[in-house]
Amino acid sequence: MLLMNILKNDKPGLWLLGILLVVSIAVPILNLLVPENSAFHISTYTVTLLGKYLTYALLAVAADLVWGYLGILTLGHAAFFALGGYAMGMYLMRQIGERGVYGDPVLPDFMVFLSWQELPWFWQGFDQFWFAALMIILIPGILAYVFGYLAFRSRVTGVYLSIITQAMTYALMLAFFRNEMGFGGNNGLTDFKDILGFDLRADSTRIALFLASAAALAIGYVLSRIIVSSRLGLASVAIRDAESRSRFIGYRVENIKLWVFVFSAILAGIAGALYVPQVGIINPGEFSPLNSIELVIWVAIGGRGTLYGAIIGALLVNYSKTYFTAALPEIWLYALGALFILVTLYLPKGIVGLWSLRKTRKTQKMREEKT
Amino acid sequence: MPLSATTVSVKKTFPPLLFFFVSFFISFFMLMSMAQQTVASEIPAESSLEDAWKTLSQKNYNKKSGAIEVIAQQNPPEARPAMKAMLEGQLYYAKRGKALYFLKEVNDNYEFTPLFDTDPALKPVLQENRRGFKKVKVNNRLRRMIRQLLAVMQLKHEDADIRLAAVQELLKNPETEAADLVKNAIGKETDQRVITSMQTLLAVIQLENGDETAQLAAINTLANSLNSSAMNALTAYQAPTKALENKAQSAINKINDKRDLYAKAETIFFGLSLGSVLALSAIGLAITFGVMGVINMAHGELMMIGAYTTYVVQLLMPDNIAMSILVAIPAAFIVSGLVGIAIERGVIRHLYGRPLETLLATFGVSLVLQQTVRSIFSPLNRSVETPEWMSGAWQINEVLALTWNRLYIIFFCLAVFMALIAVMKKTSLGLQVRAVSQNRTMARAMGVRSKWVDALTFGLGSGIAGLAGVALSLLTNVGPNLGQAYIIDSFMVVVFGGVGNLWGTLVAGMSLGVINKLLEPWAGAVLAKILVLIFIILFIQKRPKGLFPQRGRAAED
């Protein structure tokens, strides 16, 4: 009931969910049932690519939640994404078992290579999927809780907060690059074989992962929408627009920020966990500050503070990235750079903003005609 | 990348080189001292120098050895190069005429230059093979002898530095036989440093072979020496009496204390030089970020432009590397400054008062600049040649050497900083910048052209980034990613020091550099950097406005 009410007020969101539903019905059919030589056939490569975009879209929703509705320009959200990815990667590593290059039943290849004798304590339990799934939620969540608790309690805001989030992901990147950390160092985790007993290279598994990503995006979007429509969401918008005033009125600014931040980090972690089996690798490069900043630009291009704008932005930028890096690799960085500049200068509300701008102009015209 | 293995890394080419030389010389002098005695006795008095040179082309090794001794004793100017060439197998003689030649391989060709270039009949020969020439062969015995003789000649060399090096090498493996040699030389020695090392050497030898009083004297001498063989000698020393043993022990302690002190001094010096790099790269940011409220993510790329400017200046004046750096400093300032002004006019002026948006837009600028550089100069790393006056080290004593390039960078950083402070405090531009940053509207009401001030301030900050780029180009490779490696560190320094406070930036940069270097020995370079980042994150929690916050009474900015 409540859900229906909320979604009724979110027409673009409904459209988006509708499209998502159509796509997730159409893609498996086009991939599995339509013969390969048909013009309508979608290759497994494309399915995986789409699945990857969907996880990016979920990440963008998470980032929009904290940037658009809390006013925290996070430059470290890719860290939560990567942590979720590493948790999933550890599960997948443990699933390889004796099929690794060195054939050790317990130790992943890179540990054998570093001549480690036994599994480090933090790798225990990752052979169980339920445990890995729990960690995918807990690890980004706990990191976000600790980081947010410290930062919000001492009222670090604005630019300072952005920069220390960046420092966080940078520090994590450096840490994960070290072999001694026990996460595969430079190479990260890769060479996965199967997930939950299904072969990762099989078309059906790919489709299942794609559908899981679509479902996660839909659920993540709806949950985020519920949050921003709730009192918590309204309070966080108040904090975004006037933090001190909200505090003086009596809201517990720190707590509100903290919970939204933690929720967002968990969403990012889940996105990362779905991303890893589809691309087949996770390495410390995912922590790089550049990734987090790119993420922010997806949100900015789509339209900040709308949630659906973030999805549109993520899909659009990533599609053009795939296209340009293949077709015109020289141009891509110019294009991305120009996007950053033009969007911030001329499209402060993103692509979604263009649409609402037209709408307001229309209503203005109608009003003028009436008078 | 960077405080890191990607480290704000300072090239460490020196130690391996040093190690190479050390090991080379150790073997060199060990052999020399072994056969010292035999050398003196066998010199045939009747042979003349000219005969000796001619004998080298003979096959008999005994005759050759006699000839070499004669040459060494008479020591004509050709003796040293000839003996060195013999060791390296590059002394040849012509089959016809038996004249001696040096061999040098030039682009797959063999070039033979005559040893005696005074003789007009002999000319350098360049040919594709070695036909017509034969090597002056030496066996191991001769090789050993030549090494000894060279060392003795070195102790008599005119240059004090070479004499010092010779004694230092003797010290690495002190032999009793060397004592006589040094005792002879010490009376004629004038250079204080050489005398001190010689005394240390004699003391080391006496500690082993002298009687008790000599040993006591030796211990006293050695206690004041920092040389590692002095330390080794004291550690290996078997004291005949309890008193002497105590004495030796306290000497060891004294040396260790001194060494620790110097090691600490060296760490702090490394820290300060790293800190200078950090501070240099952050000062420009402190202006654009602190004074203007603009988060310039393209700051790193402005540094990169400065570094590439240095590279281009060197390309333009390849014959004058020493001067090129001095030319590059103003050039980099101007180029980066102009690019900065262009960025300000083109992008940033539309975004004042929206700091987070400037972050995104300037990040876009940084991507464009990187790709531009990649298109122009290729993605490969370029390297800038270090001029001669910046290489080498200032040897303060036997354990403490400060490399010149690090020293110059510390001075450069301080000079830039002082110049900047002077501009901000003493010039009308500085006055206007401060006025605009404090209260834009009021400043404009007073007739300050705020737009013009904005552009110039941004240009100034960018120009300083260019100067930082010049310094960086001498420390690391110049590549399109140079800036990215430093941007995060620079922000950390500015935030740590307190935004809008130039002194804070300097103090923060220096202290982060020193902290980093102090942590490195027990944590490793990467972990040290991670710890510093965590430290800053925690520090910001405690003091959200940095070390030296700007004072104010507002609830928030």
CB B302 within 8 A of CB B465: yes
Is the Cβ pair A345, B541 closer than 8 Å? no
- Separation of alpha carbons B273 and B473, rounded Å: 15
A270: how many CB neighbours lie within 10 A of its CB?
28
The DSSP symbol for B289 reads I
B271's tokens: 């820290």
Q: Is B519 on the interface with A (CB under 8 A)?
A: no
Per-residue pLDDT, averaged over B455-470, amounts to: 93
The pLDDT value given to residue A279? 93
Chain centroid offset of residue B411 CA: 15
CB B5 within 8 A of CB B485: no
Is residue B385 classed as helix, strand or coil in its secondary structure? coil
Number of separate helices (H) and strands (E) present in chain B = 22, 7
Average pLDDT, chain B: 80
Q: Is B553 on the interface with A (CB under 8 A)?
A: no
The pLDDT-based confidence of B8 (bands split at 50, 70, 90) is very low
Chain centroid offset of residue B92 CA: 37
Per-residue pLDDT, averaged over B54-67, amounts to: 81
Q: Quote the minimal CA–CA distance from B308 to chain A in Å.
A: 20
- Closest chain B residue to A349 measured between Cα atoms? B357
The number of distinct structural domains making up chain A is 1
A65's tokens: 């939640």
Q: What percent of chain B has pLDDT over 70?
A: 87
Is the Cβ pair A289, B375 closer than 8 Å? no
Terminal Cα distance for chain A, rounded: 40
A76: how many CB neighbours lie within 10 A of its CB?
28
Residue of B3, B285, B358, B368 to mutate, testing the A interface (most A Cβ within 10 Å of its Cβ): B368
B478's tokens: 């110049």
Task: Report whether pLDDT(B3) > 60.
Answer: no
- Separation of alpha carbons A127 and A138, rounded Å: 17
The pLDDT value given to residue B551? 65
The pLDDT-based confidence of B397 (bands split at 50, 70, 90) is confident
Q: Contacts of residue B557 in chain A, CB cutoff 8 Å?
A: 158
Q: Quote the minimal CA–CA distance from B20 to chain A in Å.
A: 30
Question: What residues 180-199 of chain B have any CB closer than 8 A to a CB of chain A?
Answer: none
Is the Cβ pair A243, B361 closer than 8 Å? no
Q: Quote the minimal CA–CA distance from B357 to chain A in Å.
A: 6
Is the Cβ pair B361, A345 closer than 8 Å? yes
Q: Is B554 on the interface with A (CB under 8 A)?
A: no
Q: Is B376 on the interface with A (CB under 8 A)?
A: no
Query: Hey, which bits of A49-174 come out as E strands?
Result: none
In Å, how far are A59, B55, B57, B284, B303 from A78, measured between CA atoms?
A: 8, 78, 75, 28, 26
Is the Cβ pair A158, B538 closer than 8 Å? no
Per-residue pLDDT, averaged over B238-254, amounts to: 80
The pLDDT value given to residue B450? 85
Q: Which residue has the tokens 């009474």?
A: B553
The pLDDT value given to residue A220? 95
Is the Cβ pair A174, B360 closer than 8 Å? no
- Separation of alpha carbons B482 and B365, rounded Å: 15
The pLDDT-based confidence of B31 (bands split at 50, 70, 90) is very low
Q: Quote the minimal CA–CA distance from A245 to chain B in Å.
A: 10
Q: What are the percentages of helix, strand and coil residues in chain B, rounded to 5?
A: 70, 5, 25
pLDDT in tens, B157-214: 777 777 777 777 777 666 666 676 777 777 777 777 778 878 887 787 777 777 777 7
**Minimum-distance CB partner of A159 among B347, B355, B536:** B355
Out of A134-138, A338-342, B123-127, B229-233, give the one with best mean pLDDT: A134-138
**Minimum-distance CB partner of B361 among A177, A289, A340:** A340
Identify whether A2 is part of a domain. Answer: no
Q: Contacts of residue B556 in chain A, CB cutoff 8 Å?
A: 157, 243-244
CATH number, domain with residue A351: 1.10.3470
pLDDT in tens, B100-116: 888 887 777 788 888 77
The pLDDT value given to residue B36? 44
Higher-confidence residue: A23 or B5? Answer: A23
- Separation of alpha carbons B137 and B64, rounded Å: 9
- Is the pTM higher than 0.90? no
Domain boundaries defined on chain B? 21-142, 156-238, 264-382+395-542
Interface confidence: ipTM more than 0.85: no
Task: Report whether pLDDT(B39) > 50.
Answer: no
Within a 13 Å sphere around the CA of A65, how many CA atoms are in the beta-carbon half?
A: 32
In B191-317, alpha helices (H): 192-209, 212-223, 228-236, 242-285, 299-316
Q: Is B355 on the interface with A (CB under 8 A)?
A: yes
Identify whether A146 is part of a domain. Answer: yes
**Minimum-distance CB partner of B540 among A156, A297, A300:** A156
Task: Report whether pLDDT(B156) > 80.
Answer: no
Q: Is B319 on the interface with A (CB under 8 A)?
A: no
Task: Report whether pLDDT(B20) > 90.
Answer: no
pLDDT in tens, B325-336: 889 999 999 999
CB B198 within 8 A of CB B204: no
Q: Which residue has the tokens 């690798």?
A: A281
Higher-confidence residue: B19 or A32? Answer: A32
A201's tokens: 């290279």
Q: Which of A150, A149, A170 is nearest to B542 (CA)?
A: A150
State the 10-residue block means of pLDDT for chain A, 371 residues long.
77 90 90 82 89 96 94 92 95 87 84 86 90 95 94 84 89 90 88 87 90 95 93 93 91 94 96 94 91 90 90 92 85 84 85 80 79 68
The sign one gets for the Cα dihedral B535, B538, B543, B544 is positive
Task: Tell me the residue range of the domain where A74 lies.
Answer: 48-370
The pLDDT value given to residue B2? 43
Following DSSP, what letter does each residue of B40-98 receive, concatenated?
HHT--TT--HHHHHHHTTSS-HHHHHHHHHHHHHH--TTHHHHHHHHHTT-EEEETTT-
B164's tokens: 């010092």
**Minimum-distance CB partner of B360 among A166, A243, A300:** A300
B537: how many CB neighbours lie within 10 A of its CB?
20
Q: Which residues pair with B127 in a beta bridge?
A: B110
Phi, psi of A281 (to 5 degrees): -155, 150
Is the Cβ pair A337, B371 closer than 8 Å? yes
Phi, psi of A346 (to 5 degrees): -110, -15
CB B183 within 8 A of CB B68: no
- Separation of alpha carbons B39 and B35, rounded Å: 7
**Minimum-distance CB partner of B530 among A163, A171, A339:** A171
CB B306 within 8 A of CB B470: yes
The sign one gets for the Cα dihedral A14, A17, A23, A29 is negative
Instruction: Tell me the CATH number for domain B264-382+395-542.
Output: 1.10.3470
φ/ψ region of B396 (left if φ > 0, alpha if ψ in -120 to 50, else beta) reads alpha
Q: Which residues pair with A157 in a beta bridge?
A: none
The pLDDT-based confidence of B300 (bands split at 50, 70, 90) is very high
Task: Report whether pLDDT(B553) > 60.
Answer: no
- Closest chain B residue to A248 measured between Cα atoms? B555
